[in-house]
Structure 1
Amino acid sequence: MLEATNKKANYTVLLAISLAHFINDALQAVIPASYPILRDSLHLTYTQIGIITFILYFSSSVMQPFVGMFADKRPTPYLLPIGMIIALIGMLGLAFAPAYAVLLAAVGLVGVASAVFHPEGARIAYLAGGERRGLAQSIFQVGGNSGGAMAPLMTALIFFPFGQFGAVWFTMIAAIGMMIQLWVAQWYRQHLLVGQRKGQSKAPASRFGQHEKKIKTAIIIILLIAFARSWFGASISTYFSFYLLERFQMTVPEAQIFLFIYMGAGIIGTFFGGPLSDRIGRKNVILLSVLGSAPFAMLLPHVGEIWVYPLLFLLGIINHSSFSVTVVYVQELVPGKVGTVSGLITGLSFGLGAVGAVALGGLIDLTSLTIVITACSFMPLIGALGLLLPSDKTIREWSKAVT
């Protein structure tokens, strides 16, 4: 892995890769946005909807560590636009899918495109961020969260009036994303060439060995925290709109407003989480995020309609504030494997969450929405494991010992 060739952040590149992240995750968000329409047009059960979520998360997650591992050894800038071409094909498949099997194939293509993008996107943010890696990762992740937050608006403004065919409009978005990623890929290629001239072509020594057991334990804890966060997030993004429809007899567009509040607040939390971690430490922000969201999550299933608004807003801010921070934490824990660990955290943890999404769908069919939503509200308590993580000071001491 090449280290940054400049200590100052390159905000032009950061904004470009953030916009690319916005488009990538907006295309991915098309899938859950279409659930209410697909349920009716293809007569899907909650279990089948859970399987769609599983295919999306699994295909977008399992490949990520392997893409990151490959790129650590052989950085490939033009993987980025290739991934967007795959997403474009997936959008066409979604728009014209006549049956459930074709729909699953289209969803799989969108997931693969996301898996190709995220490890290299996180690496570019790491390199372009200079010494402000928390801020850089926040800028990068805000793009993704903003794209994901478009799902409720897509449901209300595109799929509700135009049906399944509305997905065809997103092929134009994918084409724009391909052009942006071509430009970013060119910068990335030039950065690699500069690094090679400065003798940075080889990855710095990994700290596995002297502190192998402690580092692996810390990574496992981070994965468990990310899994709990993604499982809770899946319960909100995949099934909470149905919960609102059932409990408060809302229309589909009305229910999507609540999800947009949660996801929109998540953008705020993501943006401020990274810079805050530059000031008070990565571990502190992770703990504030996961433990701070727990009481609001547990209240959510038990309040009236009027209180759902502020609770979802607070949950969005607090729950998302540590997302970019967990990525930077592990990047600094294992600096020689930035692509691999970025893919691991943003990928495998969501893959585990995908298993949860399928399980939740099956549990809803067996029990009820209320029971499952209530059970998921306790997931943030798993964040207490973060107390066992090594401190930022300890990680810096390990880094000095190696260098």
Structure 2
Amino acid sequence: MNYKIIFLLFAGHLMTDISQGMVPALLPYFISEYKLTYSAAGFLVMALTISSTIVQPLFGFLADRKPLPWFIALGPFLAGLGIAIAGLFHQYYLIVLGIFICGLGVAAFHPEGARIAGIASGERKASGMGLYSVGGNAGFAMGPLIVTGLILLGGLKGITFYFIPALLLAIILYRVVGRFSQLSPGVSQGGNDSGQVGTKKIDMEDAWVPFILLTLAIICRSILFQGINTFLPSYWIEFFKASKEHASTSLTILLGMGVVGNLVGGRLADRFGNLKTVSGAFLLLIPQLLIFVRVTDVTLATLLLMTIGFTCYLTFSPMIVMGQQYLPGRVGFASGITIGVAVSFGGFAAPLLGRIADAAGVQAVFSLIVVFPLIAALLLAFVPKALHR
């Protein structure tokens, strides 16, 4: 495993996904400051989803045809710029535009980042992808904390300061693009030839049916995650009468445990297999979510939030590796689908979930999303076991 490359990718992933993590934490402030409805707030999440999810597979397709390592620098630059625009202006259409630009940065970074991480990981695919993915998970977890700190510092316009570190990291990554360019798909890492993930000269055929089942399972996970991620602060405020700052902390707890879950998930997948790890995690989520929506004590709810975040993120890096294994000749495209869909596709459901919250309260959203890990587990039951060790 090439740890230097993995660390650089970790840093880029961290900065890019801090921007994504800031968006849900900003929603209560937008709702309060600009009198947005839950539906209008949900549309902001959908704007992020449209630009990141739909465009991301296209970037992955381009990366398969020709490596584009400079996208590693473009990603955090655009993501930080979009957040700055959303904070600088109060007009709703400009906030939407800023979040859309943020999503383009996400779309540019992830497929190329995952392709290079797969090559640099050598034989320890799930563990290496786990380290790379932790950058994104940590970014999501840090996003709400950074929102709170910057808003306390300078109000909503204070979040524009985030563009400064994003720009500095983008410059650093652009200056080391040569290191990424040296990682051709056929070059091994760590003394083995497993670096060939990402080349079309692999003998394995693309397994489209398992990949489609995996993608549908990821969509279920995405709706679950975006439902929690988007409405958790509002749930904490409405149900537990918490302050906006306390509500943002609940997101950090959820996503912070996700960082731990991602690392553990990679280790478990390398030991027990990707499919077993992912299926088991989805089944474990069901009772946790059923209990969570019935809890009235904030302390117990916080403890459950920790286990939910941990279990949900056990699935993250194994699912990326599964996508690359199912489409060995289209690793960039597979990464664009699995990472783009996994993180963003549920945003398309956010306006609908927002309407449910407007009509029946935020708790109704959390009661509904319990069904999605069950559907995901059922979909994965049809994946041929022969594809996994």
TM-score past 0.5 threshold: yes
CA distance in 1 between partners of 2:356 and 2:348 (Å): 12
Which position in structure 2 is the counterpart of 1:203? 200
CA contact (8 A) 1:297 1:380 kept: no
Equivalent positions of 1:255-294 (< 5 A) are 255-294=247-286
Q: CA deviation at 1:111?
A: 0.2
- In structure 2, relative to structure 1, the CA distance for the partners of 1:372 and 1:82 (3 Å cut) is closer
Structure 1: runs of 5+ lacking an equivalent: 1-8, 397-403
- Taking the aligned partners of 1:184 and 1:63, their CA distance within structure 2 comes to 25
Match of 2:4 among 3, 12, 24: 12
Instruction: Check 1:228–1:138 CA distance in 2 against 1; reply closer, same or farther (3 A cut).
Output: same
How much has 1:234 moved relative to structure 2? 1.3
Question: Any idea what the Cα deviations from partners look like across 1:2-34, whole Å, max 9, x if unmatched?
Answer: xxxxxxx00111111111100110022222221
How does 1:3-402 map onto structure 2 within 5 Å? 9-160=1-152, 162-192=154-184, 195=187, 203-205=200-202, 207-208=204-205, 215-303=207-295, 304-385=297-378, 386-391=380-385, 393-395=386-388
Q: How far 1:352 sits from its partner (Å)?
A: 3.2
**Contact residue 21 and residue 139 of structure 2 kept, 8 A:** yes
* CA displacement at 1:180 relative to structure 2: 3.9
Relative to structure 1, the CA distance from residue 349 to residue 259 in structure 2 (aligned partners, 3 Å threshold; closer, same or farther) is closer
Q: 1:241 to 1:91 in 2, by over 3 A?
A: closer
Deviations along 1:32-66, whole A, 9 cap, x unmatched? 22111111222111000000000112211111111
User: Residue 35 of structure 2: SS of its match in structure 1?
Assistant: coil
Residues 224, 349 of structure 1: 8 Å contact kept: no
SS in 1 for 2:216: helix
**Equivalent pair of 1:65/1:343 in contact (CA under 8 Å):** yes
- Structure 1 residue 286: Cα displacement: 0.7
1:280-334 alpha-carbon deviations (Å, 9 max, x no partner): 1011111111111111011111012221121111111111011110010111122
Distance 1:193 1:270 in 2: 25
Cα RMSD (Å): 2.1
Cα distance in 2 for partners of 1:93, 1:58 equals 18
Per mean C-alpha deviation after superposition, the further-off stretch among 344-353 and 227-236 is 344-353
Q: TM-score, normalised by structure 1?
A: 0.89
What per-residue deviation string (whole Å, max 9, x for no partner) do you get for residues 187-233 of structure 1?
1112239859x9x896225755xxx6xx2221122112211111111
What letter matches 1:356 in structure 2? A
Q: Distance in 2 between matches of 1:142 and 1:193?
A: 23
CA distance, structure 2, for counterparts of residue 127 and residue 43 of structure 1: 47
The size of the alignment, in residue pairs, is 380
Runs of 4 or more consecutive aligned structure 1 residues displaced over 6 Å after TM superposition: none
Taking the aligned partners of 1:95 and 1:55, their CA distance within structure 2 comes to 15
| Alpha-carbon contact 1:22-1:145 (below 8 Å) kept | yes
- Whole-Å separation in 1 of the counterparts to 2:262 and 2:342: 18
User: Whole-Å Cα distance in 2 between the matches of residues 40 and 233 of structure 1?
Assistant: 24
Distance 1:395 1:363, change over 3 A: same
Q: 1:85 to 1:161 in 2, by over 3 A?
A: closer
